Structure 1
């Protein structure tokens, strides 16, 4: 008699943690434009697009300190306030998920035991705004933002997510487009995947020893599933 057993696929990890900007959301151009506008508005001069791109993923205070070494607290607060104003009310360029993200996350969510989370350099208010606009907050079981904990590449936000969801580091995967994402995972012995359609180059991502670097969200999804007979 022929064996007609169905071959199923299950995710490799109990928990998959995603960076937001540059990994799920195609927001690089808007972030860069708003950083440049904030620099000009606060009298800090012209900011190169390359410099602005490089700090995407960090918390805003940490990003401003890296972009403008030696600034004082007042200058830092002014830069952050100007950036937020431009991002929220001045530059209203629509933001969209990268190709494959919505379908891929829906596929993961179809598994009842699969946990999903977000670890981002955005603020809590900023991430919640994205959740509301795209009606996607319910897709994730937990999230951490830079103003709730410590900025990447410190691993505290990952530690907090693991604790909240009762998951061990070896059961989780971090997915991100920057060395900040992959370094915080490596600090905990957590596996990671780099995506090369974001802001950091493939050599920078590979230097952080990810499981692999992918070029499309569909490629990530294909790798995430393990056939089970």
Structure 2
């Protein structure tokens, strides 16, 4: 089975950092500072789209300054990488030892993902990765189609694991199985309409599901 993970809010406990950096960028550029719950709703989107949704009426020049201020704030904050959620580090290693293929599909930029993977000593850990600035951003399913093609597997033999409606919509459009984690940016009530096979309250919940699902894939008994 191929397991494709979102990064922020799914593996990495970085939701709070993203929110604080968006708010800091707004202060630095003189724009209204939005409440955390509102900023959380755009996590997972490509940066340009995310900031456009938060500040739809500002000029292109203002949004450009906001983008630069956010990047500066996040790079400075990310000098200390966000911690993994409980159980993620050991869980990822366990998945590798079981022989599963692991990938990342993220709204981060290529530069941003490469930086965090290097800081964590994980540059070569994942079998493949896709970022929003090198393909279509979420919820467009293009990055998932690219990963399925790269590995040569059908959607039913792969699962997308994410914490936002953008992850779930992307996987649904790609005909993929999907698991939603409830400890990230979006609430269970937001995630449920996308009919994930599991609402995981912890990474351990996902790990238990993966063992059962992998056995079904190996036995050729995958259901829709």
Q: Normalising by the residue count of structure 2, what TM-score does the alignment of the two structures yield? A: 0.91
Q: Aligned partners of 2:156, 2:128: CA distance in 1, in Å?
A: 18
Higher relative contact order (CA 8 A, sep 6+): 1
Matched, 1:198 2:218: no
Greater helix proportion: 2
Structure 1 distance, partners of 2:66, 2:32, is: 12
Using the TM superposition, give the Cα deviation of residue 94 of structure 1 relative to its aligned residue in structure 2, in angstroms: 4.4
For 2:143, the equivalent position in structure 1 comes to 157
Alignment of 1:1-229 (within 5 A): 14-89=1-76, 92=79, 94-112=81-99, 114-226=100-212
Larger radius of gyration between Structure 1 and Structure 2: 1
Q: Which has the higher strand share?
A: 1
In structure 2, stretches of 5+ residues that fail to align are 220-224
**Structure 1: unaligned runs, 5 residues or longer:** 1-13
CA RMSD of aligned residues (A): 1.6
Distance 2:92 2:46 in 1: 25
Whole-Å Cα distance in 1 between the matches of residues 182 and 51 of structure 2? 24
Structure 2 CA distance, aligned partners of 1:21 and 1:70? 27
- The total of aligned residue pairs comes to 215
Return the offset for 1:92. Answer: 4.7
Q: TM-score, normalised by structure 1?
A: 0.89
Partner of 2:143: helix, strand, or coil? helix
Aligned partners of 1:210 and 1:95: how far apart in 2? 26
Paired residues of 1:20 and 1:118 also in contact (CA < 8 A): yes
Greater than 6 Å deviation, 4+ residue runs = none
Q: CA deviation at 1:167?
A: 1.5
